[in-house]
Structure 1
Amino acid sequence: MAASIGSLLEEISAVEDPTEELQCLKTALLSIPVEALRASVSGQRLSAIFSLLNSNHRPQVELCVDILERILMALSPEVLVQNYRAELQAGLTHPHDNVKVLALTQIGRIIGHPDAVGEVLNNHGILGAVIRCVGEETMAVAKEAIKALSNLSRSKPGLDELFQSDRLKVLKDVMAASDAVRYRVYELVVEISSASPISLGYCANSGLISQLLGELTGDDVLVRATAVEMMTALARKQHGRQYLAQQGTMDKISNMIRGAETDPFSSLYLPGLVKFFGNLAIMESPQQVCETYPAFQNKVFEMALDPDPAMIGVALDTLGLLGSTVEGKQVLQKTGEKFKSVLLRMSQLASAGATELRGRSLEAIWQLLGLQPVEQTDDLLALTESWFRLLSDRPMELMRDISGQPFPELHCGALRIFTAIATQPWGQRLMIDTPSFMEFVLDRSTGQTKEAKDAKFELVESLACSSTAAEILGSQNYIRLKTYLREGRYYVSAVASVGTEGAD
């Protein structure tokens, strides 16, 4: 096979219009497994294919890219950098975007290899061209460039080259091209900063993080929204949160929430501010965040009662996130009547809101009611039971009605709420006291989609594995639950066929 690959390469070099030969080569390459291909192309020179990239004939260029992609992926990064460094560098400024993507993909492989990356670090032309590709209009090109630079920053020499050399000026020049490109660079900087405290130090010293923080209070509300989203990503790491706290970012965002009441454009960035603190509360401490930044908690309650669906949706997600932890449940309970009003609104939305908000309401209620077995103290069990009963005069019937809806997100959402209370003794008592409820649980004919069968099985599993189920539900129901569990989630009972011989 190596001989045939070599002969095809020779034929391509010898003809004026190599389209047919290129197609034959592509077909031959696709028929060879990667391991065998590595041996087949070893020692073959690809200069003829690279030279054919310099053409205005798009089909020819695309064939060459397909061929090179297949061959180069079979070669090691060391071989690439030794034999095709100049060709790959030329590809970074090629007029065709797919050639740029090819070059960036292979340079990214070189950067990710410890024995090959030095050749890129020592070649300022390659690295500068990669940085400039971040500013390309085509997102596929920009994404590959960002990926390569992100990989480069995983080592100290890479960080030094990117942030402590003339390459930093190139990066800042690229940022100035447009708002869209500036956001891309910010995303790259946040990704690098999130990797480690050392990486964050490099980015902070470059001035790019300070520039991003300055966008929070800029005149452009869309820029503010983007900046908050990036701050949220950085805050997912502990060293990122510490840095933001030192810079006073949390106080700044809290003040923005307060000032949103007088800003007619606040709806464009307010959801992002709330998401920021919601994530912060889960990663740090719900009680500490809600007490330190009361504007956040107050705004979440306001948004839950707001007529704007966008505001309601974010509030529901945030309340569910807070209520998914024991500490968060306790914080919400302390607000008294405020939270009761919000819980009633959730119930109303779950039963009669727009379909998307119904699903998000059910998701939030599920998170609020859930308790792990180790969390089931008397106080917390009393809390979740009181919340469930606040949903309606007849909450079991309410959720049962919602579970009969044809929309999967509603059917499965209601089943998840039943699953949440299924491990709690008060929930089991409600189930056995609700007429025909156990028949509903054990009926396999309700909900025929995979998602519905999975949701029903999880409900059965929660009941069957509960230490109090046998006593509360009774031995007969317990045995039927265990049988359902043993048969599996997709069990279908055999139905005897009825003979029809002699029928008219």
Structure 2
Amino acid sequence: MAASVSELLREIAELEEPLEELRSLKTVVYSLPLTALRDLAVGLRFGVLFALLDNNDDREQIDTSVAILDRLLQALDPVYLAENFKVELQKGLQHSDDNVKILAMSQIGRIVENANAMPLILGSPELLKEMIRSIGGKKISVAKEAIKSLSKVSQSKAGLDALFMTSMLQDLKDVMAINDVVRYRIYELVVEISSVSPVSLDYCANSGLISQLLAELIGDDVLIRATAIEMVTGLAQSQHGRQYLAQQGTIDRISNMIIGAESDPFSGFYLPNLVKFFGNLAMVDSPQQVCERYPAFIEKVFEMIEGQEPTMIGVGLDTIGILGSCVEGKQVLHKTGSKFQEVLRRLGSISCNASTDLRVRCLDTIASLLSLSNDQQTEDLLGMTESWFHTLHSHPMETFCNMNSQPFPEIHISSLKIFTAIASQPWGQRLMISTPGFVEYIVDRSAEPDKSSKDAKFELVKTLVDSKTTAEIFGNQYYLQLRAYLREGPYFVKAVATVAVDGE
């Protein structure tokens, strides 16, 4: 096999139109495992393949050459790659073809992940400068690969020094000046770097780029403001990032923006991102602390759900679902008392009367609110979820059963999620057993028309079998049927014997 690779490369070097041989070579190199290619790749005539990328308008020939190089270069040790192919990688970064640029950047990304190879790249600043320039290109795929590789560069102090303590910082700022879109690509890189550690955050903060991002929150352009909030949400994913935002007064500022949105006719452009910011903050920090310190957040979420704007309703539903996915979040919602009771009744209405998309999101939110794991089932929490269930509709079990029988796959699957949410809770099991035909439906495999429905039904069965109270509440007969269902798997089909008839 090694001989065939070398032979094909020799043939390719001698041909003016080597496309057929390139296809054969691609087949060969992808049929070999990387372990087999490692010894083979060292010493191969890579120059033949790199030469095919120059002054070539043949789309397929370039793509095939890139695919072969990607496979062969992956087999090389990063140190060997850095020592022998820096010139080719730099030419690749300057190539007019996006796939060639992405190939070069992905290989540089491999090099900088290796502690021994990294200095070889940092010693060639033009490579890094070329990647920074690539962030300003037209193709988002190229920019994303550049951001990814430069993020890897910043994983070490030497890499941080190269990006932020040299003329490359000015290169970053020059690229930012190209347009709004490119500026936010640089912000994306900065947020990604900042999230790694407090040290990396300090580098980014001292560069002035984070201050520039935070200043965008109060700009006149509402669309830019919305994008800035999205970026700041990424910064808040790390504990040191949240501490920095709190110290800068940014979290208080975003809370005040929610309050001020009442009087801003253009707030619809950025308000969803404000709410998402606090929703994410609550989940990575503490729902109770966030909701108590920033009451405008939860009030605005309730207001969105009670309103009539579909986009706002959707964001409100998703946020309540995120908050209610943990016990602390459930308790925070429950403490709002009658306000949340009104929200629950509104959820019941949306689940029946809105567009299909909103109905599905609403049902998923309800499932999230009602879910309790086996070890969370205290008397208080069980009483709370049961009361929530009965607040949704005057006859909730009947209502969700009717949804389950409707010919809309998304609604059907989402209603099954609600049954699964209450299936581990004794009050939910008692409702199921007392609903005529419901348990028979659960064990009836023919009721589910497609794979997604079968999977959703199987989750319901599994939840019931895993519950300690199912056998007692359902009775031994049904419990044994459920265990058999679980054992046989979601797609089991019972064999039907055929009987031969005389004369046929």
* 1:275 to 1:11, Cα distance in 2 relative to 1, 3 A: same
Residues 404-446 of structure 1: CA distance to partner in whole angstroms, max 9, x if unpaired?
1233321121112112212222112222222222212222221
1:47 aligned to 2:32?
no
Is there any run of 5+ residues in structure 1 with no aligned partner, and where?
Answer: none
- For normalisation by structure 1, the TM-score amounts to 0.94
1:483 aligned to 2:484?
yes
Question: Corresponding residue for 1:165?
Answer: 166
Question: Corresponding residue for 2:371?
Answer: 370
- Please report how far the alpha carbon of residue 192 of structure 1 lies from its aligned counterpart in structure 2 after TM superposition: 0.9
- Please report how far the alpha carbon of residue 175 of structure 1 lies from its aligned counterpart in structure 2 after TM superposition: 0.9
* 1:58 to 1:347, Cα distance in 2 relative to 1, 3 A: same
Question: What's the secondary structure of 2:349's corresponding residue?
Answer: helix
Is there any run of 5+ residues in structure 2 with no aligned partner, and where?
Answer: none
Q: Distance in 2 between matches of 1:305 and 1:54?
A: 61
* 1:27 to 1:412, Cα distance in 2 relative to 1, 3 A: closer
Match runs of 1:368-407 below 5 Å: 368-407=369-408
Q: Which moved more, 1:402-411 or 1:59-68?
A: 59-68
Match runs of 1:57-206 below 5 Å: 57-59=57-59, 60-206=61-207
Question: What's the secondary structure of 1:278's corresponding residue?
Answer: helix
Question: What's the secondary structure of 1:445's corresponding residue?
Answer: helix
Q: Distance in 2 between matches of 1:289 and 1:500?
A: 74
Residues 206-256 of structure 1: CA distance to partner in whole angstroms, max 9, x if unpaired?
111111111111111111111111111221211111111111111111111
* 1:403 to 1:16, Cα distance in 2 relative to 1, 3 A: closer
Q: Distance in 1 between matches of 2:479 and 2:3?
A: 71
Letter of the 1:248 partner, please give it. Answer: G
Q: Distance in 2 between matches of 1:442 and 1:40?
A: 57
Tell me the C-alpha RMSD between the 2 structures: 2.2
Residues 341-387 of structure 1: CA distance to partner in whole angstroms, max 9, x if unpaired?
21111111212221111111111111111122222222222211111
* 1:62 to 1:427, Cα distance in 2 relative to 1, 3 A: closer
Match runs of 1:336-375 below 5 Å: 336-375=337-376
Q: Distance in 1 between matches of 2:25 and 2:463?
A: 58
Match runs of 1:235-254 below 5 Å: 235-254=236-255
1:299 aligned to 2:297?
no
- Please report how far the alpha carbon of residue 66 of structure 1 lies from its aligned counterpart in structure 2 after TM superposition: 3.6
- Please report how far the alpha carbon of residue 10 of structure 1 lies from its aligned counterpart in structure 2 after TM superposition: 4.5
Question: Corresponding residue for 1:284?
Answer: 285
Residues 309-349 of structure 1: CA distance to partner in whole angstroms, max 9, x if unpaired?
11111101111111122222222222222212211111112
Q: Distance in 2 between matches of 1:265 and 1:151?
A: 38
Residues 146-205 of structure 1: CA distance to partner in whole angstroms, max 9, x if unpaired?
111011111111111111111111111111111111111111111111111111111111
Q: Distance in 1 between matches of 2:168 and 2:28?
A: 42
* 1:393 to 1:31, Cα distance in 2 relative to 1, 3 A: closer
Identical amino acids, percent of aligned pairs: 58
Letter of the 2:436 partner, please give it. Answer: P
- Please report how far the alpha carbon of residue 3 of structure 1 lies from its aligned counterpart in structure 2 after TM superposition: 5.0
Match runs of 1:8-47 below 5 Å: 8-14=8-14, 22=22, 25-26=25-26, 29-30=29-30, 32-47=32-47
- C-alpha contact (below 8 Å) 1:2/1:39 kept by paired residues: no
Q: Distance in 2 between matches of 1:264 and 1:491?
A: 56
Question: Corresponding residue for 2:439?
Answer: 438
Match runs of 1:188-337 below 5 Å: 188-337=189-338
Match runs of 1:445-460 below 5 Å: 445-460=446-461
- C-alpha contact (below 8 Å) 1:429/1:472 kept by paired residues: yes
Letter of the 1:379 partner, please give it. Answer: D
Q: How many residues align?
A: 503
- C-alpha contact (below 8 Å) 1:5/1:41 kept by paired residues: no
Question: What's the secondary structure of 1:84's corresponding residue?
Answer: helix
